[in-house]
Structure formats: structure tokens, C-alpha cells
Amino acid sequence: MIIVMNPKCSEREVKAVENELTKQGLGVNLSQGSTFCIIGVVGETRIIDPDKILSFDGVDKILKVEEPFKKANRLFKPEDTIVNVDGTLVGGNHLGIMAGPCSVESEEQIIEIAKSIKESGANFLRGGAFKPRTSPYSFQGLELEGLKLLKVAKKETGLPIVTEIMSTKYIDEFVNNVDVIQVGARNMQNFDLLKELGKTNKPILLKRGLSATIEEWLMSAEYIMAGGNENIILCERGIRTYETYTRNTLDLSAIPVIKKLSHLPVIVDPSHATGYWYLVEPLAKAAIAAGADGLMIEVHNNPQCALSDGQQSLKPALFDKVMKKVKVLAEIEGKTL
Amino acid sequence: MIIVMNPKCSEREVKAVENELTKQGLGVNLSQGSTFCIIGVVGETRIIDPDKILSFDGVDKILKVEEPFKKANRLFKPEDTIVNVDGTLVGGNHLGIMAGPCSVESEEQIIEIAKSIKESGANFLRGGAFKPRTSPYSFQGLELEGLKLLKVAKKETGLPIVTEIMSTKYIDEFVNNVDVIQVGARNMQNFDLLKELGKTNKPILLKRGLSATIEEWLMSAEYIMAGGNENIILCERGIRTYETYTRNTLDLSAIPVIKKLSHLPVIVDPSHATGYWYLVEPLAKAAIAAGADGLMIEVHNNPQCALSDGQQSLKPALFDKVMKKVKVLAEIEGKTL
Amino acid sequence: MIIVMNPKCSEREVKAVENELTKQGLGVNLSQGSTFCIIGVVGETRIIDPDKILSFDGVDKILKVEEPFKKANRLFKPEDTIVNVDGTLVGGNHLGIMAGPCSVESEEQIIEIAKSIKESGANFLRGGAFKPRTSPYSFQGLELEGLKLLKVAKKETGLPIVTEIMSTKYIDEFVNNVDVIQVGARNMQNFDLLKELGKTNKPILLKRGLSATIEEWLMSAEYIMAGGNENIILCERGIRTYETYTRNTLDLSAIPVIKKLSHLPVIVDPSHATGYWYLVEPLAKAAIAAGADGLMIEVHNNPQCALSDGQQSLKPALFDKVMKKVKVLAEIEGKTL
Amino acid sequence: MIIVMNPKCSEREVKAVENELTKQGLGVNLSQGSTFCIIGVVGETRIIDPDKILSFDGVDKILKVEEPFKKANRLFKPEDTIVNVDGTLVGGNHLGIMAGPCSVESEEQIIEIAKSIKESGANFLRGGAFKPRTSPYSFQGLELEGLKLLKVAKKETGLPIVTEIMSTKYIDEFVNNVDVIQVGARNMQNFDLLKELGKTNKPILLKRGLSATIEEWLMSAEYIMAGGNENIILCERGIRTYETYTRNTLDLSAIPVIKKLSHLPVIVDPSHATGYWYLVEPLAKAAIAAGADGLMIEVHNNPQCALSDGQQSLKPALFDKVMKKVKVLAEIEGKTL
């Protein structure tokens, strides 16, 4: 951490900052440039609250040298994390392909889709039981009934299930019934929820927030890891920009950036990122080519009856076609499914 | 609602959409342009899920005519909502000035600040007990102990208290001890929390999400109102952009836009929006001049000891100076404090 | 085009809008909903200035049905445009791979790089002679001397050359000496320049502006096409967001969106989009997988001596490795180089 | 400037960077932290090209200590710049109020508006002769004929005229006929144009680019100043965000930020920023309260006949009302008109 003092700061002000830092056990390295006095801080700087230092008189700005995340940092754990979901692996050279409907609607629907996506090569079944909807007047999901139907589909197909949690209230139900607990984009900084999930040892799928920086996203992973749960799969799902032809802007550069910064696996959701089914195929392929550890894709046997997100769902036949292409690219990348 | 069909759509596809709409009790108005076939939908269109319609074959896009919010909509309630917090009013020509420290730190601190801001003219005491921090290694607030200290400060000064809730877990404590429950930017779309707050009749301060559109923000208000609680004060606190000289970009045009779209009162938080104390005064004044119904300002008696957000806090003497200027502008705008 | 009238508009106001439209030879289709009166406009609506209509009393908003671009619109020219640069094709199933240094620095440098990239499979040489630099104190390019050196390199290798124009002042020099004239992101809406380029018949490489929507980008292509020059290659080079780990956010969804909206070829520049050489390989591969018609990649024989953008340049050996992988993906996509 | 080396960098790599810096006459200050080796650079660091340093092996990132602009920097010229336009001052405590139509349309129109805005208190007449329009099919302005009409209006009223330049082609006409040359948002980084304007001594109104950072905006001012022309008035006109209820998001925090960073005057254009006439009054007032040095407001005697931007123009009577309120706020701020 580097502290830049105001060009007009007094010696007394510099001294006050120095004292604060040494009081916290940190080393200090003063350097006077032509205009600016600069304080280099040496030691475990993650314990310092930059906001506090900025409130000292004479401090102009703080420049960060180290990343604020530690457990998620590849610097301290160079090898890839491989998340093991009851024997199905995600990370390293193992792809996780999570497919299924936006919302679980009925036993018939979820079983039919589960069988179909399994046949096409998916190794996880995703489906929403609790749905975060922008409007209170939209369908909110089957809730606990939805979890039950997912379990039935799992029993039929053997596919582990991934579904979104929206509140700490249901943590026990999720821990007992779900294989991968998804934290949605809107809850990426629901810190209470992250803390509670940190106390479990369930694999967590952590979606990037609607306008989260990569650093904030990794800090949310750090929240869970700080609690003791290191089974985290990150999921890029597009960020908000001013572009209106797509729902969000899928940020595929996040994949190689995450690979450099962190050891955690990262998958891509082209369905939510783009909002249109015709964009899923090209971006699913692009994600694999960019090095993603997997995909999350919406598949629905009858999009016109879908109670949510119909226009971004693939029909099973199209999903099957996409998977054939994904497999070719996966092989080129040295990944197995 | 207007449905634009694909230029190459078939008559059968148009018919299928028409049938779906009439099945839902809506009127339909077909119009064939030079290239596009357009379906105008007449009736209570808020019940339609646009995602579902978009999944019909041949549908190109949907154009929204009506706003998706209803209870928050000024069209259906033209007069200003005035929120009554135990006799202190916010909205109409009544300004709510909420001041205090980012975090409650000690009894001495909170009482001293409460007395000081009251003398300067604030009519609410704000202070964080539960703190949403980006890093799990930062100070997380005094939690329930913080609520107690706020109550002591209220007893000393009579100022109603505003503090942030972060989880449904503590709703009862908040309902029993707090005068205005704040929903922070990161929880603006924590729909479970919004639903629970809709069941209480406590005044809610609803901050705009980090990258929420005005429509999404009003839809979050609608979530609370749909549950029966219409005591909502909106709070603009800056949106995320690429600009780095300020923490966020304060969107003051949101004030007159909200005034046109909704009857709910809207205040401005220049402290969090900008991140720097020297920007608070000009933007507090600008907010009042733009028609805001109040302000939320961080004040700390000793910013250098602040456990969070020190660099954006005003010292009491500067807050007092800002308030003198705010009062002059308030009078010009016909507002009372 | 759909005109939504204010819920409280008068019959006189509706009539005034109707008159204006019929005066311009357009058909009008009135429809009165529960709250809103809606005017559907039939005919060649691209001639209407929406700003003018919005200034009529009683008009609330305008909803666009048709895209505002015509010559660039795939609706009116369904087959892919293939740009022919003296026999080298871009578009359809022909990939254009443009490589070379950010700045032309010397004859030796540009010839060495040109030979090297040709051997690796590039079919265009790119290099900056006129450089748009944020700081007036940075190297501004060799200017006309740079054009000469590019021509020497073309003579040596036969590679057609692509270089950026920054002013109408040098249009003749560019037309006479350059094979593809590049319009940089900062000049995407330099309308005077676009108009002048529309009068030539040179192939134009039109980069997307730093924060341009896809619609604005296509409208800039339309400016050139309206002048009579339809030889346009679009180039996605990242858009500005709040993310700081990358210089810009590469928007690969723009590729399939453009393919749907327009017949023009579109290539991707992963070097400028990301700003770091280590991100070029994964995103170059992703671009091809997403359906791009080519790539623009910075290659430098000695990045540490590069007078600009050194950190985003590949060394020739790495470029060669990237090209081997690109070729594999191109073949899968049915593209030839 | 601070250079952060890669945690795994070699001594040889550090040495290579050091050599490069000392070769350029700069001082070097090495500091080895727990993980990172840091190189502090002392001296006139503005001459270093950060991109070049980043291309050295082992360099991880560069942290900026000094602002990259010099002539525009308040550090080196603490007192406010007051731009003198033939006796009318802008900056310090002098407000510049620039009003008039988006486009000059006819002699009658521009004279009538000029008289009317003068009576309401404006001290500059603005009007577009060359218009940057997104669509090639929209009205492009009266061009040179428009300049003539502006001069007639100036002769009638004595108001100095402000109008936008779009190309270096007409620089002489602008220098000879115009009092303040406006550089529009889309040309903020048209560096060729900036360089040419730097050679004149005409006052320049430099609008902020659609998605320009404050630093880039000041660097564009620096381009003009580096050429010798220091008569610059900055103009905030909104930045692009994802919000759709307003055309752009007006960034009023830019006003006090600019005041801290630079000595140049800065005015606000609430008409283009918001896109709607009903938002002009509240944001014009807010701008003055935030410390702006003036306003640019669209006024049209007959918005429905306006050939461009009708919906954001005020009618003269409303402009007069706005000006009365602006004057009250200006007086409070100690500004004269």
C-alpha cells in the first residue's frame, strides 16, 4: 500500500500517519518526490482500513499494491482449485455443464428436461425454485415444492442439482437437498448470506453482480472462504452497460483475468448474459475457447409455456446441437466433460 | 404494451400471440406497417410476463407503453406522499435531514454527534449498527449493541433514528427499536427482505442500487408497497460509472424524474455518492436546488478515529456551516425543516 | 414508429401530431388504450425527426419499431457483404487477419514485423502512422513518413496495409497509399470525416466508439454508405465500463448481434480491447468461435522499445502460436484464411 | 509514478527498468515489501510513456501519483482562470449564460431568440450552424449560412456568439466570425482539431465527451493549451450510463472536482445532458448551487418547428422564469452576471 500525501502537507501530518501505521505493526518507507511526499507501507496491509487512513489530514490518495483478497488469490495457492460435487468435478480440466429451465414448473417438465440435457452431455441440472423477479407481480417460483421436484429429477437421472438461494431462512433446506447452492447476481453482496454459506461445506456457485468489478466479485468469494468454505465456482453472467440489443454485456475477458488472479474455477452463463436464445450458441463456444471451466445454459422443452425467461431458453434439440460444438472446442482446450 | 412481430412472421404466429393475449382477458389491436406487423395490447398489461410473449415464434420485440409500477406511480396518486415518522414529516414541503456517523462506535460518540447535529438543524439521527463491508476483514459494525446505543442517543435528543438492516433475521429488533429502517444499495433487490418489510408498517428508506435504473428502483419500492407498507422514502446515493475521481456518480436528474413518475419522497446522500468530504457541501446544496426532499450526510466528531468511511465524513463545525447554506436554499424552494 | 401521447393529452394535441405526420406523407393509426392514446405511424418513418415530434405538446414518448439504418440493414440485403481488398477478401467465409505494430517506427522494424506476421498467416499489415494519443506529450506517430514505410513493407511482402486516418486533411494521401483506411474509436462520430470517406471507394475499417451503442456504430457505417462507399469492415475493440483489470470490456456478443442486424463483416481487436498481451490469445480464440470475420492484433518485435502500447503487443513467436490455434478454430467454423 | 514489479520478478528485470528510468534522467527509489518490489520514480514523470514501462518483463502495474495534465493543473496555477470574451468574462465570480436554439434556422428566428434571451439575462448567444447528427438523414445545419445569421444576430444584440466547429476545414471562418468556438462531445478527442485550435487565441468551449473521464477531458484541454491557447471554458453535458429516463446522466460532482484539479472555468449544459425541457430548470439551479461558472441552455421560440432537439428546448417565457431563479442562486453564491 502506498499513501500519497497532499503537496502542501505538513511534517506533523506525515508523522501522524506514520504513527498510526507503526502502531498497527507495519513498516513505513518515506520518499519525497519533486511535488509529492509518498509513504510506502510494508507488512500485512490487508488489515488496514484505507478509509481510515484517507481521513487523516494531509492524505491525498491511497494506491493499492496488493490485491485485497487472500484465500482466493492465486499468489498464495498457485494450483487450480477443483470443486468436487459428489464425484463430479469442476475446474482444472473438468468442465461443468449446468443446464435446465429458468424455473421448475412441474414434475413432468423437470424430469423430461433433466433426461434430455443429460443425454446431450450436461453433468448438472439447474432449475429455479426461488426466483428473484424485478416485479412483485411476476411468478416467484414454486419455492420449497420446487426443491422437491429437483430432487425427484436427480433421483431419475443422477444429475447433481444447482439452484438459487435467496435468503438465509432456507439455508438448512438447501444444505440438505441441493448439491450446488447458487448465489444470484443480485445477492452477490448480500453479506449476511455469504457469511452463513461460509459456515457450510456445500459447493457454492457465485454469480457476478450486475455491475460488480472482478475485485468485488473475488471479495465476495473471500467472504465465503473466510468462513471456512472454499468450494466455490464463480459464474460470469454479464455486466450492465448502456447497450440495449443485449440484456447485459458478457465479459469474457473476465475468464482469463480470473485465471490469473485466482485459483477458483469460473464458468459462463450465456443465457442470462445476453437474454436471447440465438446468442447462446456463439457465446457458449466463445466461452469455452476463452478458457471457461463450464457453462450454465437455460433449456426448456416448451419455451412458450415457460413461466420465466422463455426467450432466452434453448429447446432441447438446439441444446444438443450446441453441446456437440462445445465438445469439439473442449477437446481442443484439453478439457473433459 | 406493443408487440412487434418479425418481418417474416407467419399469420399463424400472429394468431398464436393474439390467442394468448385474449386468453388473459386483454384486448388486441392489429396494425400492418410497410415491414412490420404490430400488435397493440389494451387492458391491464402489467399482468403479462413480457419474457413469455418474447418466447413465441415470430415475436421480435416488445415496446412498453405503461410503467410497470402501479402503487408507486404518480399517475394513479397525483399528490405527494408525506411520510410521517412519529410526527417528523418527510415529503411535500418537509425536508428530512438525516445526519450522523457511518458506524455507531460508542455511547459517548453517538450522543455527542446526535446533540451536535440536532443543534445544526438535522431532524433524524443516522448511524450504522450493521455494516455492509466489501471486505470480510473490515469492521462489521456493533450490530445489536449498536441499536441499543442509537436508542440511548434518541432518548437524549428526541431525534428519530435511521439505521440499515442487512437481513430478515433481525426484522423484529428493527421494528421495535428503529424509526426508519434503511435498505442499503446492495440490498435494493434483496427481494426476500423487501417482502418482509412490506408486511410491517415502519417507514423504509430505500437506497438506489449501485447500478439500478430508476425503473428498477421504483419496482423495489413497489415490492414493499405491494405488501401493504406505503411509507417509503427513496434515497439517491450515486450510481457506478467509469469515473474514478468520485466513488460513484451522483445522479441528481433522478430527483425531478422521480418527482414526475412517482409520488414518493426522495432524498440525496452526497457523502456515499462522492466518497469525499469536500464534495458534500456543493452537492448537498445542488440536491436541495434540484428539489430533493432531504439529505443524508455523514458527520463524525473525529473522522480519523472513524472505524469506517472517515474520508467522507464532515466534522460537526463543517456540517453546521453546510446546514446554514442548506436552510437558505430550502427557504427559496419553499421547504421547511 | 409508435407515438405514445401523455395520459392527459387533449384531442387537439393528438390532431396536431396527426396533421404533422400526414403532411409528411405518412399513414396514421390511432388506438386508445385504458390510459394511453397511441399513434402508430406507417410508411418511411426514417425521414421523421423524433426530436421534432417529441416537442409537440402532449407527446410522452416515441417507441422505435424499425432500425434507423437502411443500407447497413440485413433486412434489405440478406446476403453477407464480402469486402474485396485488391483480391484479399473479408466477410462471408473469408477471415481477415490484420497484424502489426501499434506505431510504425522504422523501415527495419516494419519490414521485419511484416515478414514475420505474413509467415504466421496474417493477410493484412496494420501499423499506425498517425496516432491518437490521450496526452499531447506522448509520441504522435511518424505521420506521412510512416505511410511511406508501410508502402515499403507492402512492396516487400505483398500484404495490403491498414492504417488509421485522423483528419480529412490527408484523405488524398490515404486514398493513394493505403489499402484499408481505419477510422479509430475516437473518430467513429467524426461525421465530417465519415462523409468525406463516403465519397471515396476505399475499404474502410470502422472501429466501434469507446462507448458507442451497436446502433450508433451501424449509423456511422450508414453515414459512409449514404455517401456511396459500401466497402465497410466493422471492428469491435471493447467498450468502456467500470472494470479496471482490463482497459476496456470486449463485447463479443456484438458479433452475433451485428450478424443478425447487418450484412457487413465484423472483426475483433483483442489487443486494444484488453490492453494486456496475456489476454490476447484467449480472446482471439473466443472471437473466432463467436463468429468474427477476422482479427486485428498488435505484434511487435521488441515490445520494450515500442513507442506506444508495448504492453499489449505480442512478440512474433507468441503471435505465431496464437495463429496456429486460430486456424484450428477457423476451420471448425468453416472459415478460410 | 510508482512501478509495481511482479512478485516473481528477477533482479535483472528490476535493473532493466531502473536503467531505462535513469537513462531518461529520472531518480529511482527501490523498496522491497513482503511480496512486491516497488520502484518509486522521482522527477518529471509526465515524459514517461507508461505503456512502454509496462512492456518491460517483470512489471506488474503502474500507479500514478501525479496528474498527467500540467498547464490545466491548479497545482501549478492556483488562481482561477477568467476567460475574457471581448469584455464578457467567464470564471472567477463571473457567470457565462449561453442560450439559444440548437440549430440556427432563419434570420428572423435567430434575431428574435437573441433579443429575448438577452432580455432574460443571457450574456452569450449560442446556436448551431454545423450539427453533429447521429443519422446522415437528419438535418445537418445551415453551415456557413448559419454563421452569417449568427453574426447578424450579434450585430442586433451585441451578444457574443458561441457555435460548434466540426472540422479543421473551417477554422479560419470560425476564427474570423465566432466569439467562442465550441468543441462538441463527439470531437473531444479529435486531436487534430484540438491541435489546430491550440494555434489560435480564440476562447474555446470544450464539452466533455460522451463517456470521457474527468482526466481525459482535462487532457483534451491540455492539448489545446500545449499549443499556446489557454482560453478554455469546460462544459459538463452529461455522461452515458444505462439509465434510459434521461438522455445522459448529468455529473454535477464534476464541477467541484474540476474546481479542485484545475483553474479552468466550467459551465453546465442541462439541456443536452437530460434531453427533456422539464428537467432543465431543476438542474440549472442545481448546477449554480454546485458552483458552476455558467450555463448553456437551449431556447427556441417555437420548439415544434425546431429542426433539431425540440423536446429539450425551453420556450422564451420559461427561460425567463428559470433565469429569475438562477439569478437568486447566483447572488447567494457570490456570482455576478
**CA of A86 vs chain C CAs: smallest distance (Å):** 30
**pLDDT band for position C158 (cuts 50, 70, 90):** very high
How far is the C-alpha of C225 from the C-alpha of C77, rounded, in Å?
A: 13
Which residues of chain B lie closer than 8 angstroms to D214, CB-CB?
A: 243, 245
Cell numbers at C77, concatenated: 440485403
**Which of helix, strand or coil describes residue B61?**
strand
How far is the C-alpha of C217 from the C-alpha of C238, rounded, in Å?
A: 13
Nearest residue in D to B213, CA atom: D243
How far is the C-alpha of B147 from the C-alpha of B158, rounded, in Å?
A: 15
pLDDT tens by residue, A126-180: 999 999 998 998 889 999 999 999 999 999 999 999 999 999 999 999 999 999 9
CB C308 to CB D49 under 8 A? yes
Does residue D1 register a pLDDT over 90?
no
Does residue D60 register a pLDDT over 80?
yes
**CA of D148 vs chain B CAs: smallest distance (Å):** 36
Sign of the four-CA dihedral B123, B127, B130, B136: positive
Does residue D114 register a pLDDT over 70?
yes
Which residues of chain B lie closer than 8 angstroms to A51, CB-CB?
A: 306, 308-312
Residues in chain B: 337
Strands (E), chain B: 2-5, 27-32, 37-42, 59-63, 83-85, 88-90, 96-100, 124-126, 161-165, 180-183, 204-207, 232-236, 266-268, 294-298
Q: For an interface test with D, which of B242, B252, B325 has the most D Cβ atoms less than 10 Å from its Cβ?
A: B252
Cell numbers at A218, concatenated: 473475488
CB C40 to CB B44 under 8 A? no
Interchain CB contact of B106 with C (< 8 Å): no
CB A241 to CB C249 under 8 A? yes
User: By percentage, how much of chain D surpasses pLDDT 90?
Assistant: 78
Which residues of chain C lie closer than 8 angstroms to A283, CB-CB?
A: 252-253, 256, 290
How far is the C-alpha of A73 from the C-alpha of B270, rounded, in Å?
A: 34
pLDDT at res. A299: 96
pLDDT tens by residue, A71-93: 999 999 999 999 999 999 999 99
Interchain CB contact of D279 with B (< 8 Å): yes
Closest C-alpha to C91, from C79, C101, C104 = C79
**Angle A216-A221-A227 (CA atoms, 0-180°, nearest 5)?**
130
Residues in chain A: 337
pLDDT tens by residue, A8-64: 889 999 999 999 999 989 988 888 877 788 898 888 888 788 878 888 888 988 898
Cell numbers at D325, concatenated: 431563479
**pLDDT band for position D6 (cuts 50, 70, 90):** confident
Closest C-alpha to D182, from D208, D211, D162 = D162
> Region B14-24: what's the mean pLDDT?
92
CB A289 to CB C282 under 8 A? yes
pLDDT at res. A65: 87
Which residues of chain C lie closer than 8 angstroms to B29, CB-CB?
A: 31
**pLDDT band for position A319 (cuts 50, 70, 90):** very high
Sequential DSSP letters for A122-145? --EEE-BSS---SSTTS----THH
Closest C-alpha to A224, from A171, A162, A150, A287 = A171
Does residue B67 register a pLDDT over 80?
yes
**CA of B153 vs chain A CAs: smallest distance (Å):** 24
Widest distance between CA atoms in chain A: 75
How far is the C-alpha of A198 from the C-alpha of A225, rounded, in Å?
A: 6
CB B34 to CB C40 under 8 A? no
Interchain CB contact of A295 with C (< 8 Å): no
**pLDDT band for position C308 (cuts 50, 70, 90):** low
Sequential DSSP letters for D272-294? HHH--GGGHHHHHHHHHHTT-SE
pLDDT tens by residue, D71-84: 999 999 999 999 99
